[in-house]
């Protein structure tokens, strides 16, 4: 097996998809000749031609809207948005169309497509490059949302998403694109959409995270052990919509305490839904309020402040302490 980082795993996933399925087409700003601003599509245009890996005009609604038409007419478009923060001009296309084609046409048409977007802060990029509006799309029925935290899941979830008959928003944790390498099978495999992953078992408290925040959460778990002797269970959600209720609830039922971590502003973020889900299903298991460690409820700041803005291990530990000491 090859060792790959996340970006390589994504490129590899795209290559496999392009190779195996002639309906797959990769499109977006700078994805062709330049291979994407993060090199996620590096080499793909050379390998598969400029009909299948297409540089588009600079127009997010156009890119997603054209992808809808392609999907409806039998293709499997995999559009890239250059950064998740630039998804806003395409919100109309995504929530009014991508997510609704199947429902609106009562199954007559479908819209299988995968919208890829580098996601989260932490790379000292200018404004909006670090926005985390995933909650918007989790709130929208009809589209699934996934976010890997490691190379294996990245490729497996990407191939599952491209195979999916439903549209999928595929969020890529850009801060850790190249942070580490894992064994990644070279052949085709999938990671099931809708399944969370308990990456570290524990008995005292459950930590829910995804993407970039997963590793930061693991770090906080380690600190909790070292500093307090607490045994933290860490759950990688992997799929943000639909949530894996069984795993989420199973964990908190075991530990009795929980903290959700995300980079997005706390208020009305995905953390709120997880708290509400736990409220629905496991209230009586709770020994303390579920904690939420989110970005602050202020717009994502310029990068000199981004390390303070996004949760770090220290802040997550603080969140764990509040719950444990309740």
Ligand X SMILES: Cc1ncc(C[n+]2csc(CCOP(=O)(O)OP(=O)(O)O)c2C)c(N)n1
Under rule CB under 8 A, which residues in 33-72 are in contact with a second copy? 61
**What Cα–Cα distance (Å) separates residue 264 from each residue in 81, 119, 126, 312?**
18, 11, 17, 13
Decide if residue 302 touches ligand X (CB under 6 A).
Answer: no
Least distance (Å) between residue 42 CB and a second copy: 29
CA 116 to chain centre: 9
Cα separation, 145 vs 190, whole angstroms: 16
Q: Does 89 bind ligand X (CB under 6 A)?
A: yes
Among 16, 25, 29, 172, binds ligand X (CB under 6 A): 29
DSSP code for 66: H
Question: What track of x and - describes contact with ligand X for positions 49 through 68 (by CB under 6 A)?
Answer: ---------x-x--------
Pairwise CA distance, residues 180 & 287, whole Å? 36
Determine whether 129 is an active site residue: yes
Helix, strand and coil percent figures for the chain, each rounded to 5: 40, 20, 40
Alpha helices in the chain (DSSP H): 6-20, 44-48, 60-72, 91, 101-104, 134-138, 151-163, 212-228, 245-255, 270-282, 306-309, 313-324
By CB under 8 A, name the one of 5, 8, 16, 29 that touches other proteins.
29
Torsions phi, psi of 317, nearest 5? -60, -45
Closest approach of other proteins to the CB of residue 184, in Å = 25
* 77-96 exposure pattern, b = at least 16 Cβ within 10 A, e = fewer: bbbbbbbbbbbeebbebbbe
Residue 228 as a binder of other proteins (CB under 8 A): the answer is no
> Does 78 participate in binding a second copy (rule CB under 8 A)?
no
Instruction: Give the number of residues in contact with a second copy, rule: CB under 8 A.
Output: 49
Stretch that binds ligand X, among 41-49, 81-89, 151-159, 308-316 (CB under 6 A): 81-89
Secondary structure element (H or E) that encloses residue 53, with its range = strand 53-55
CB of 96 to ligand X, least distance (A): 9
Minimum separation from the CB atom of position 89 to ligand X (A): 6
Q: Which stretch binds other proteins (CB under 8 A): 89-97, 195-203, 216-224, 230-238?
A: 89-97
Minimum gap (Å) between residue 176 Cβ and a second copy: 24
Closest CA to 5 of 140, 128, 175: 175
Kindly identify the residues of this chain, within the stretch 206-265, that bind a second copy according to CB under 8 A. Answer: 241, 243, 264-265
Asked if 124 is part of the footprint of a second copy (rule: CB under 8 A), the reply reads no
Find out whether 258 and 207 touch, Cβ atoms under 8 Å: yes
With CB under 6 A as the contact rule, the residue among 23, 86, 228, 281 that binds ligand X is: 86
Contacting positions for ligand X (CB under 6 A): 29, 58, 60, 82, 86, 89
Residue numbers annotated as active site? 129
């Amino acid at each position: 097996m090859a060792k790959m980082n996340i970006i390589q795993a994504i490129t590899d996933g795209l290559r496999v998809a392009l190779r195996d399925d002639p309906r797959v087409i990769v499109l977006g700003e700078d994805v062709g000749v330049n291979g994407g601003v993060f090199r996620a599509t590096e080499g793909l245009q050379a390998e598969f031609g400029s009909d299948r890996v297409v540089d588009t005009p600079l127009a997010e609604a156009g890119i997603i809207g054209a992808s809808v038409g392609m999907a409806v007419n039998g293709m499997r478009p995999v559009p890239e948005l250059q950064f998740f923060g630039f998804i806003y001009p395409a919100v109309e296309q995504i929530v009014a169309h991508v997510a609704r084609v199947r429902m609106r046409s009562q199954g007559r048409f479908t819209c299988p497509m995968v919208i890829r977007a580098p996601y989260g802060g932490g790379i000292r990029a200018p404004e909006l490059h670090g926005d985390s509006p995933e909650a918007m799309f989790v709130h929208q029925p009809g589209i699934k949302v996934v976010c890997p935290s490691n190379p294996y899941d990245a490729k497996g979830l990407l191939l599952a998403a491209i195979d999916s008959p439903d549209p999928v928003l595929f969020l890529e944790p850009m801060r850790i694109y190249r942070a580490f390498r894992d064994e990644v099978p070279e052949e085709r495999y999938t990671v099931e959409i809708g399944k969370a992953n308990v990456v570290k078992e524990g008995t005292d408290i459950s930590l829910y995270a995804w993407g970039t925040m997963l590793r930061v959460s693991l770090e906080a778990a380690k600190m909790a052990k070292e500093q307090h002797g607490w045994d933290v269970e860490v759950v990688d959600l992997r799929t943000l919509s639909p949530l894996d209720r069984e795993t989420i609830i199973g964990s908190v039922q075991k530990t009795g305490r929980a903290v959700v971590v995300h980079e997005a502003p706390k208020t009305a973020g995905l953390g709120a839904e997880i708290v509400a889900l736990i409220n629905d299903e496991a209230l009586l298991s709770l020994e303390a309020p579920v904690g939420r460690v989110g970005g602050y409820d202020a717009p994502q700041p310029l990068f000199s402040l981004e390390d303070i803005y996004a949760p770090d291990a220290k802040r997550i530990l603080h969140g764990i302490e509040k719950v444990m000491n309740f």
